[in-house]
Structure 1
Amino acid sequence: MNLAVGSTNPVKVQAVTRGLERFSPTVTSIDVESGVAEQPFGHDETIAGAKTRAKRAFEQTDATYGVGLEGGVGRFGDPGQLHLIMWAAVTDGDRLCCGSGPSLPLPEPITVRLEAGGELGPIMDDHLGTTNIATNEGAAGALTDGLIDRTDALATAVACAIGPFVTPYYGE
């Protein structure tokens, strides 16, 4: 399986490799723009970023599949808690399918700073006294005390997005 990932972030590349490990993937990373804000808000904007990354990665390579991954934040549930969300998109040039990873509620101090216009990675680094959390365990790792990390969370989204391409259950 030959895939192009629309990001050079090592966590995103590793997420594709880990999520599709049983297919022995060949994964190429390519730097593409997401077309959305650095900190996407809401499922729609986060999905749009993943779709754009997948399409651009596919168009700029000879890969069988283009993969886009996008992390964002979204408000849902009762009483509308802000959550970390993550989405993946996969395209073969004809079809474009999406899948999500887990979502995690964000602590109030993080929420306040995000709503003031900040970006999750730097906010988490500042709040936790870490450096480059986005290329390591991610907010998912910190907020679950290592039960999952960002790579695992994104790998789940990739597995969900590629399902229609690797099973017969979706038809064409």
Structure 2
Amino acid sequence: MAFPKRKNIQKKDRQKLVIVGSKNPVKIQCTDNGFHQAFEDQQFIVQGMNVDSQVSDQPFGDQETFQGAFNRAKNAKKSFPEADFWVGIEGGVDDFEDQMVAYAWVVVLDHKNQIGKSKTGTFFLPDIISKLIKNGLEPGAADDKVFDRENSKEGNGAVGILTHGHVNRVEYYQQAILLALIPFMNGHIY
């Protein structure tokens, strides 16, 4: 995808550029929705780019999952410093009381070195999916295998499948985007 050239955009009325550290359409859409919801009076162009999370393909635990989200935002900023905001979203799993839970961390960075952080709600995975993940599959691949789907991680994912579509994955991530934008929405107290 082509990125707008900053020198051709007037500063006072230009759209702000947000780079998501992933080309996953769900992550791009939830970021676009979240920024437009948080800042209704501003215009944003949201683009995705593939960057390295520098963590395991399937992060385990809060620290590794957060680090993956942070690294995605940081590496997007390093790769495209002309943007206004950079977003990292990383899905992770953890064990809790002998069951596996799934969630995602969101990190938002800006030019002023401000950082916003948030985590989605968690939900418990069925044992059949947990076992596949423990044997090395990512949750999306495990979902595809168990539910006979293709590329569910770029669709409604486990949260959508397990809730029978009542929790939309874009909306699930969008709430975490909004929560990560709190410091930017309230700059006078952060």
Are the aligned partners of 2:22 and 2:50 in contact in 1 as well (CA < 8 Å)? yes
Q: Secondary structure at the match of 1:2?
A: strand
Task: State the partner residue of 2:135.
Answer: 116
If the length of structure 2 is used for normalisation, what is the TM-score?
0.84
> 1:11 aligns to what?
26
Match of 1:96 in 2: 115
The CA deviation at 1:140 is 0.9
What is the aligned partner in structure 2 of residue 68 from structure 1?
A: 88
Which amino acid counterpart does residue 72 of structure 1 have in structure 2? G
Counterpart of 2:23 in 1: which secondary structure?
A: coil
- Maintained 8 Å contact 1:51/1:96: no
Larger Rg: 2
| Contact 2:115 2:183 (8 Å CA) reproduced | no
The one-letter amino acid of 1:51's match is F
Which of the numbers 164, 169, 174 marks the counterpart of 1:150? Answer: 169
Contact 1:90 1:96 in 2 (8 A): yes
| Distance in 1 between residues matched to 2:168 and 2:91, nearest whole Å | 13
List runs of 5+ in structure 1 lacking aligned partners. none
Pairs aligned (count): 169
Task: Work out the CA distance in 2 between the residues paired with 1:80 and 1:88.
Answer: 26
Spell out the pairing of 1:127-166 with structure 2 (5 A cutoff). Answer: 127-166=146-185
Shift of 1:10: 0.8
Match of 2:68 in 1: 49
2:88 partner letter? G
Encode CA deviations 1:31-73: one digit per residue, 9 max, x unaligned: 1011111111111111000000011112222111110000111
Secondary structure of 2:181's partner?
Answer: helix
Identity of aligned residues (%): 34
Unaligned runs of 5+ in 2: 1-15
Identify which of structures 1 and 2 has the higher relative contact order when contacts are C-alpha pairs closer than 8 Å and 6+ apart. Answer: 1
CA 1:150–1:20 in structure 2 vs 1: closer, same or farther (change >3 Å)?
Answer: same
Amino acid at match of 1:84: A
Checking the alignment, whether the CA contact within 8 Å between 1:89 and 1:99 is kept in structure 2 is yes
The aligned amino acid for 1:35 is Q
